[in-house]
Structure 1
């Protein structure tokens, strides 16, 4: 489950930012969270200027989901967070994770 990016790398000396979000989730909800994050990446984030990529990783015990996302710069990321559809996604995903 990744965005359509073809070249993902961490670079220095550029305004690019990388975010690593670690969600704690009940094991029976891990798949729900992965699906919500993957759907939001495909339907929301890939359409927002400055978005580069997102990759999801799951723990074997089912209690963690890691979302590794890259943005062109901090301004693009900050602007995305002000969008209503992004705020709804953040609240929805947090609700799944907090349903421990």
Structure 2
């Protein structure tokens, strides 16, 4: 089973990209993100996991990807194949990417 685990002690970086998308294009954007992960991103050095979330109102898609280092993220973003997926996804929805580290994690009491 593949899963995304979020823990402060893992010292991973998380790239979170929130896309604003027309509801009619949400499924197409999800399919394209999934294709990019399968064909390119998961094979890159430093890749740990990816999770794609969809807004229930149809207007948002979130791509949450964990990486080992900022250098791994930068090298991937410089890869022509990754850049091509970036262009394709930006044509479907307005991206707002950011890189984050985990400050804290809480579970149910």
The TM tier, using the shorter chain, reads: 0.7 to 0.9
- In the superposition, the TM-score normalised over structure 2's length comes to 0.79
Higher relative contact order (CA 8 A, sep 6+): 2
Q: Which has the higher strand share?
A: 2
* Structure 2 segments unaligned to the other structure (5+ residues): 95-109
- Partner residue in 2 for 1:57: 53
Runs of 4+ in 1 over 2 A off after TM superposition: 6-15
- In the superposition, the TM-score normalised over structure 1's length comes to 0.86
Q: Equivalents in 2 of 1:69, 1:48: separation in Å?
A: 12
State which of 12, 18, 22 in structure 2 corresponds to 1:22.
18
Aligned length: 94
Q: 1:67-86 deviations in whole A, cap 9, x for unaligned?
A: 11100111101100100000
Greater CA radius of gyration, 1 or 2?
2
Q: Equivalents in 2 of 1:8, 1:36: separation in Å?
A: 20
Any conservation in 2 of the 1:57–1:67 contact (CA below 8 Å)? yes
State which of 60, 63, 67 in structure 2 corresponds to 1:71.
67
* Structure 1 segments unaligned to the other structure (5+ residues): none
Q: Pairwise CA RMSD of aligned residues?
A: 1.5
State which of 54, 75, 86 in structure 2 corresponds to 1:90.
86
Any conservation in 2 of the 1:19–1:68 contact (CA below 8 Å)? yes
